[in-house]
Amino acid sequence: MSQANPAAPRALLERDYASALADFVSGTGEEALNRAYLIGRRAASAGIGLLDMATLHHQALAELPPARGPDGARRMALAGQFLVESLSPFEMTLRAHQDSARLLGLGGASGAQDSQIDRAREQLHTILDATTAVIYLKDSDGRYLFVNSQFQAVFGVRRQDVIGRVDHDVLPREAADMMSAIDRAVMEGRTPRELEESITEADGEHTWLSLKFPLIDDLGTPYGLCCVATDITQRKEQDEALRRAIEAAVVANRELEAFSYSVAHDLRAPLRSIDGFSQVLLEELGDRLDPQGQKYLGYVRESAQHMGQLIDDLLGLARVSRGDLHRGPVDLSATCRCIAERLQASEPARLVEFTIEDGVVADGDERLLRAVLENLLGNAWKFTGKRPLARIEFGARPEPRPATYFVRDTGAGFDMAYVDKLFGTFQRLHRTSEFEGTGIGLATVHRIVSRHGGRVWAEGEVDRGATFYFTLEEVSR
Amino acid sequence: MTDKVILLVEDDPRDQELTMRALARSKVEGRVVIAHDGVEAIEYLFGQGPHSARDVQDLPALVVLDLKLPRMNGFDVLKRIRADPRTHLLPAVILTSSGEERDRLEGYSSGANSYVRKPLEYTEFASAVSQLGLYWLVVNQPPPPTRAGKP
């Protein structure tokens, strides 16, 4: 209680005390007595001690004009009353001290007869010792009032060697300097503080997350400090590992992007040569090749073109996997109509009846959802190619949430036994001679729907058509 | 000042040949000059190095640029062309394997007049190249000649 007495409040207090005392002894009554109490409270919160208060009283008394006889005796009695009143806040502070000390079993002297307090103390101790956190209490002079078991374990000290001592008696100098400086700052600042502290223990460096808060009594006077510290070494390591993993993933992603990019450029160039010079051969030397030779050159060209398509589709798959989702309302009906028109224009002779439900709007990335519908409607168009008359349908079932969207066709269908293979990369259920394709379209659909937090599945029957369903996560707005 | 010149900036000899062949088969009257990388293209256009004797006023009718080139890539060639008052209006088109969005964006941002992705299938490739030649050398009206220092 003797530290941190700024001179200014002290001087102010002296003046207040003297004037209030003078008022009271001259008979202004109750009001002046209240002032005595308030001055006491202020003194207690400013950290002014009991002895200081007694000195203050003595000085103020000495400054009063002299009085003798019955007047003098009456004045002494009033002055005594004033002193008692000004000290009463200290008494309450003291009681708060004693209560908390009794609860923690520090004070020793009192309380033993109160079994309720005993039980509470026991429970509190059990809890404080059971936790993996390090917990300690210090008084305002930095002396340990209490340490829990974990404190003993971490610092390798015994409780009885710590209580009543300060950091520098207990801890290595460097640690003690740091800890006492921080603790003092918390007490003086009167605000809780959270900080990370590194402590070297037997098994290496540990990181502790400490919450330190001043203990303040009902009168606003700080009388100590409590610290609860949690070992976050493991969490720190996990954070670090996670950070490194994310960094590695970012690097890998960048490399993959660079890879896709050179695939786009470099893998296509030789294919163009293979296709181009095969064609040149056919044009210029075609008469010197027999029909079989011409057919083989045709195969060379077809293969080159097929590989080109594979590369393009793979690049498309890579493209839908990267980049941010730009979510917004997407008019699926309009998108379907647009795709249907284009499909019809690509083969005007085909008779395909499109049934597209109106006003189906979903929440998602427009470019990616368009790719989903292009793939699904494109497939429907492709697998109805051998039908003289075909039907392709798009619609939605809003309930149950999330809404289910579907694309249905009356085409070649598929055997449900192979339904699991449908969405894998390069997986095909039909021979290339029946239906062209690279086996990447549905993998792309699957990737996009997953990125939208949705699900995609299919139902089909050989020669009786197929239905593809998908959902999208509904983002609440 | 007889026939029109197409400056083909292309490092792959096979693509050079296929492009030349496609141009030869089309009705484009022109002479193809080949630069094997970006630096060669700049030297040709600005009369530097082996081309120091060339009259730099005599600009090609069209520059056809690949993007991925040794030493200096197509974007940088394009930026140099656009930055110089002698060539800043010169018709330049990109002919590349890449259809990537960022390449298209950077191509047009760098001042390309057109961006064509080389089709893989030869007949499509030949058709694209001859259409390019026809359009830029026959259909299109070239910019008026600019004099050095008087843009």
Q: For tokens 């203050």, what's the residue?
A: A56
The residues that bridge with A137 in the sheet, in sequence order, are: A146, A226
Q: What would the two tokens of residue A359 be?
A: 């006003």
Taking only the tens place, the pLDDT of each residue in B107-142 is 999 999 999 999 988 999 999 999 999 999 988 888
Overall average pLDDT of the B60-77 stretch: 91
Q: How many CB atoms lie under 10 A from the CB of residue A115?
A: 9
A288 close to A416: Cβ distance less than 8 angstroms: no
Q: What is the pTM of this model?
A: 0.54
Q: Can you tell me the distance from the alpha carbon of B87 to that of B145, in angstroms, rounded to the nearest whole number?
A: 9
A403 close to A369: Cβ distance less than 8 angstroms: no
Tell me if the domain spanning B5-138 has CATH number 1.10.30.50. no
Residues of B whose CB is below 8 A from A302: none
Q: Is A268 exposed, middle or buried (0-12, 13-18, 19+ CB in 10 A)?
A: buried
Of A47, A45, A57, the closest CA to residue A17 belongs to A57
**In Å, how far is B92's CA from the nearest CA of chain A?**
20
A272/B96 CB distance under 8 A: no
B99 close to B116: Cβ distance less than 8 angstroms: no
Q: How many CB atoms lie under 10 A from the CB of residue A191?
A: 11
Q: Is A324-470 the same fold as A112-231?
A: no
Of A213, A137, A183, the closest CA to residue A3 belongs to A183
Going from N- to C-terminal start, the domains of chain B cover 5-138
Q: Which of B69, B121, B127 to mutate to test the interface with A (most CBs of A within 10 A)?
A: B121
User: Who's near B9: CB < 8 A, 6+ residues apart?
Assistant: B34, B35, B37, B38, B40, B41, B63, B64, B65, B66, B69, B74, B77
Q: Which residues of B95-121 are buried (b: 16+ CB within 10 A; e: fewer)?
A: bbbbebeebbebbeebbbbbbbbbbbb
Would you identify the CATH topology of the domain A324-470? Answer: Heat Shock Protein 90 (3.30.565)
B117 touches chain A (CB under 8 A): no
Tell me what pLDDT residue A5 has: 43
Q: Can you tell me the distance from the alpha carbon of A200 to that of A456, in angstroms, rounded to the nearest whole number?
A: 54
A265/B99 CB distance under 8 A: no
A188 close to A215: Cβ distance less than 8 angstroms: no
B69 close to B37: Cβ distance less than 8 angstroms: yes
Q: How far is CA A97 from CA A90, A164, A378, in A?
A: 10, 15, 81
A222-231 vs A389-397, strand pairing mode? unpaired
E strand intervals along B1-113: 4-9, 30-35, 62-65, 92-96
Q: Can you tell me the distance from the alpha carbon of A161 to that of A461, in angstroms, rounded to the nearest whole number?
A: 82
Alpha carbons within 13 A on the beta-carbon side of B60:
27
Chains A and B: how many Cβ contacts under 8 Å? 55
Write down the H helix ranges in B5-88. Answer: 13-25, 38-46, 74-83
Instruction: Report residues of chain A scoring pLDDT below 70.
Output: 1-9, 51, 67-69, 91-114, 264, 426, 432-433, 476-477
Q: Is A304 exposed, middle or buried (0-12, 13-18, 19+ CB in 10 A)?
A: buried
B118 touches chain A (CB under 8 A): yes
Of B85, B79, B65, the closest CA to residue B136 belongs to B65
Q: Can you tell me the distance from the alpha carbon of A417 to that of A403, in angstroms, rounded to the nearest whole number?
A: 27
Tell me what pLDDT residue A94 has: 65
Q: Can you tell me the distance from the alpha carbon of A196 to that of A369, in angstroms, rounded to the nearest whole number?
A: 47
Residues of A whose CB is below 8 A from B123: 279
**How large is the ipTM?**
0.78
Q: Which residues of B18-43 are buried (b: 16+ CB within 10 A; e: fewer)?
A: bbbbbbeebebebebbbbbbbbbbbb
Q: Can you tell me the distance from the alpha carbon of A475 to that of A364, in angstroms, rounded to the nearest whole number?
A: 9
Taking only the tens place, the pLDDT of each residue in A180-195 is 888 888 888 888 888 8
Q: Can you tell me the distance from the alpha carbon of A293 to that of B42, in angstroms, rounded to the nearest whole number?
A: 45
The residues that bridge with A136 in the sheet, in sequence order, are: A147, A227
Tell me what pLDDT residue A353 has: 93
Tell me what pLDDT residue A433 has: 67
Of A38, A11, A10, A12, the closest CA to residue A24 belongs to A38
Query: Is residue A135 classed as helix, strand or coil in its secondary structure?
Result: strand
Q: For tokens 């209006």, what's the residue?
A: B89
A265/B98 CB distance under 8 A: yes
% of residues, chain B, pLDDT over 70? 95
Tell me if the domain spanning A112-231 has CATH number 3.30.450.20. yes
Which residues of chain B from 35 to 54 reach within 8 Å of chain A, CB to CB? none
Q: Can you tell me the distance from the alpha carbon of A57 to that of A229, in angstroms, rounded to the nearest whole number?
A: 44
Q: A213: which DSSP letter?
A: E
Q: What would the two tokens of residue A414 be?
A: 């598929």
A121 close to A236: Cβ distance less than 8 angstroms: no
**In Å, how far is B135's CA from the nearest CA of chain A?**
23
Overall average pLDDT of the B47-73 stretch: 88
B75 touches chain A (CB under 8 A): no
Q: Can you tell me the distance from the alpha carbon of A40 to that of B45, in angstroms, rounded to the nearest whole number?
A: 94
User: Who's near A233: CB < 8 A, 6+ residues apart?
Assistant: A205, A206, A207
Residues of B whose CB is below 8 A from A265: 67-68, 96-98
Q: Which residues of A390-413 are buried (b: 16+ CB within 10 A; e: fewer)?
A: bbbbbbeeeeeebbbbbbbbbbbb
Q: Is A471 exposed, middle or buried (0-12, 13-18, 19+ CB in 10 A)?
A: buried
Tell me what pLDDT residue B1 has: 41
Going from N- to C-terminal start, the domains of chain A cover 7-103, 112-231, 256-320, 324-470
DSSP per-residue codes, A387-398: -SEEEEEEEEE-
A229 close to A208: Cβ distance less than 8 angstroms: yes
The residues that bridge with B104 in the sheet, in sequence order, are: none
B122/A269 CB distance under 8 A: no
Residues of B whose CB is below 8 A from A271: 120
Residue of B nearest to A300 (CA): B121
What's the sign of the alpha-carbon dihedral A239, A242, A248, A254?
negative
Residue of B nearest to A283 (CA): B123
